[in-house]
Amino acid sequence: MPGKLVLIGAGPGDPKLLTLRAVEALREADVVLKDRLVPDAVLEEAGCEAEVVDVGKKPGGGGWTQEEINEKIVEEGSKGRTVARLKSGDPLVFGRGAEEIEVALEAGMEVEVVPGVTSAIGVPSSVGLPLTHRRYASSFAVATGHEDPSKPESRVDFKSLKEAADTLVVLMGAGRFKEIAEDVARASGEDTPVAVIERGTTEDERIKVGTVRDVLEGDLEADPPAIIVFGDVVGWWREVFGL
Ligand code: SAH
């Protein structure tokens, strides 16, 4: 009997943000394939006693390739084992969870997805920064700043996104912060407020604030992993929290 794949969202970092089902599934697993961004404290707090394999991909190469991870899932599944695939945030947001579901189903494995608190929403929320506000924002968009370089049309149109949505949240945007800010400036101007939250919900959390102009002038930078939020909600948040 082929085993089971459980794709688990670990949340943004703080182990207390795991769901009850995530904790239960981590205890039931035979082997855990863990991403680099998931802190070890998550496994400790969940009381996970399974074998843990760190299959983290390193920025700029090194570590496991997606193909190797896919093979490992199928190999463990063929032994009838329950494989927990532990990913940061929600397992289906900007991870390659969809591919992992496909390979597991093709191998005849059972598949379960345990949603997690995505950093896109959870990290701003954890510091009191709302993506929507009755007065300032009735929509938000979430995009990646780092696209698959092998895609032919490898460019998110941040200008159009910011025109369409009141709040723009960018993940994996640290490396292209200036380019993204240029696009946002063309949509909503250089005075658009910006928040950068690095390593949200962890002990190393860092919050930086400013405007698009600060980014363009090199006075506001982002170190990964970071969530970048553009929009008037950031202005409201700075005012009420005195930031
Ligand atoms: N599936 C994840 C996203 C994976 S992509 C989710 O739903 O959150 C990895 C990116 O997520 C990072 O580059 C960063 O932009 C963001 N991220 C994840 N955890 C974060 C954290 N604790 N603080 C800030 N950004 C985080």
Pairing of strands 110-114, 193-198: unpaired
Whole-angstrom distance, CA of residue 24 vs CA of residue 1: 22
Q: Are 48 and 24 in contact (CB under 8 A)?
A: no
**Mean pLDDT within 55-69:** 84
Burial 202-220 (b: 16+ CB within 10 A, else e): beebeebbbbbbbbbeeeb
Ligand 1 mean position to 58 CA, how many Å?
14
Q: What is the mean pLDDT of residues 206-216?
A: 98
Active-site option among 14, 35, 166, 183 = 35
In the chain the domains, ranked by start, together with CATH numbers, are 4-114 (3.40.1010.10), 119-241 (3.30.950.10)
**Which 8-state DSSP code applies to residue 11?**
B
How many angstroms does the Cα of residue 11 sit away from the middle of ligand 1?
A: 9
Instruction: Give the residue whose CA is nearest to atom 18 of ligand 1.
Output: 119
Check pLDDT > 80 for residue 150: no
**CA nearest 37: which of 131, 148, 172, 129?**
172
Cβ distance 206 to 222 under 8 Å? no
**pLDDT(119) > 80:** yes
pLDDT value at 129 more than 90? yes
Parallel, antiparallel, or unpaired for β 167-171 and 140-144?
Answer: parallel
Q: Taking CB atoms and a 6 Å cutoff, what residues make up the pocket around ligand 1?
A: 12-13, 37, 87-90, 93-95, 118-120, 123, 171-172, 197-202, 224-227
User: What is residue 107's three-state secondary structure?
Assistant: coil
Which pLDDT score, from 0 to 100, does residue 59 have? 65
The pTM score is: 0.95
Atom of ligand 1 nearest to the CA of 90: 7
The pLDDT of residue 31 is above 70: yes
User: In the structure, what pLDDT confidence band is assigned to residue 62 with cuts at 50, 70 and 90?
Assistant: confident
